[in-house]
Amino acid sequence: MNHFEVFGLAPVLELDVKALEQRHRALSLELHPDRLVAADAKARLSALEKTAALNDAFKVLKDPVRRAFYVLRLKGVDLESEGGAARAAMPMAFLEEVMERRERLEALKARGELAQARALADDVAREQQAALERAKAALTSDDVAEATHQLGRVRYYARFIEEVEAFEEEASS
Partner 1 sequence: MAYSEKVIEHYENSRNVGTLDKEDPNVGTGLVGAPACGDLMRLQLKISDDGIVQDAKFKTYGCGSAIASSSLVSEWVKGKSVDEAQTITNKEIARELSLPPVKIHCSVLAEDAIKAAIKDFQEKRAKRQAQAVVAPKAETPAQP
Beta-carbon-side half-sphere exposure of residue 102 (alpha carbons within 13 Å): 13
Least distance to partner 1, CB of residue 44, Å: 32
Alpha-helical runs (H) found in the chain: 3-6, 17-30, 41-62, 64-74, 84-88, 92-110, 114-140, 144-172
| Residue 9 lies near partner 1 (rule: CB under 8 A) | no
Using CB under 8 A as the binding rule, the residues of this chain from 78 to 97 that contact partner 1 are 79-83, 86-87, 89-90, 92, 95-96
Cα separation, 145 vs 152, whole angstroms: 11
Least distance to partner 1, CB of residue 124, Å: 12
Cα separation, 20 vs 41, whole angstroms: 29
For residues 136 to 165, the per-residue mask of contacts with partner 1, x marking binding by CB under 8 A and - elsewhere, is ---------------xx--xx-xxx--x--
Please give the single-letter amino acid code of residue 87: R
Residues that bind partner 1 (CB under 8 A): 79-83, 86-87, 89-90, 92, 95-96, 98-99, 102-103, 151-152, 155-156, 158-160, 163
